[in-house]
Structure 1
Amino acid sequence: MYRYPVEVIADTYLSKVGGYSYELDRNEIGINVKALEMNTSIIANETLATLKRFEEIRPYFLRRKFVVVGIEESMDCYEMSANGEVVLPEEMEGSMEVGESVIVNTVEAFRIDGDYSNVIKAIKWRLDNQILRN
């Protein structure tokens, strides 16, 4: 059994930062592949996710997106994700502390799936209503 990631609401998970690895590209985060299979609906090497610290207030759509990579036992960074912790690319070193709690949000990948047309319509409708009121 793996401690992380823990699903807190649909397609949104709580985990901790396990470390930083040269094995990950700048647009990838890694999580133990077995922890992904047992604890999540995330599809390794396919699902997009955003990361959020608890005190961060950046709007969802402005957050950096990552491909979630399954970390195999043969990889050097496997020990950093022994309990399902998130491993970040080496270029992000210092941006988050090892052991810090993070939210891994994959809602967009499963709910919106790249089709922003309804989001755009909702924003336009809201703006039009505000203009009419003023």
Structure 2
Amino acid sequence: MNDYSELKRLAEEQCISSGLGMFEDHQLCENILSLIADNKRLAALLECAQGDCRQAMQIIERLTPEAELYQQIQIAAGSLPSSWEISLRVEKGYGGVDLIDPHGTVVDLDNVDESLSESVASAVAFAMSKEG
């Protein structure tokens, strides 16, 4: 009986039926039918809201890596020791992070399995460990 049209049909049938005496008050019948309609609208709104939440989560999932990279770049800008540099390299089919020491030498961090944000964080940590 979780189908709203079936519930409405039963309520209407009971309202029309005078033999049972359950819904002799016309206003009570109207109230019951109104509640059924409200429940149907609420269920539709809930379904829509859940769909909106799913869509919002999909957007967040797509934007999260970009936000993490932005956050790590901000951290690097404030934490990277003087004379160290981080360079983001992008070419067709590749994106990577280079850490450049104070002598201008590119440090091999062996971070091929890391995301760009993880690579920036690793580069900062490495540079800080060498300066500390």
TM over 0.5: no
TM-score, with normalisation over the residues of structure 1?
0.23
Larger Rg: 2
Point out which structure has higher relative CO (alpha carbons under 8 A, 6+ apart). 1
Higher normalized helix content (fraction of residues)? 2
TM-score, with normalisation over the residues of structure 2?
0.23
Higher normalized strand content (fraction of residues)? 1
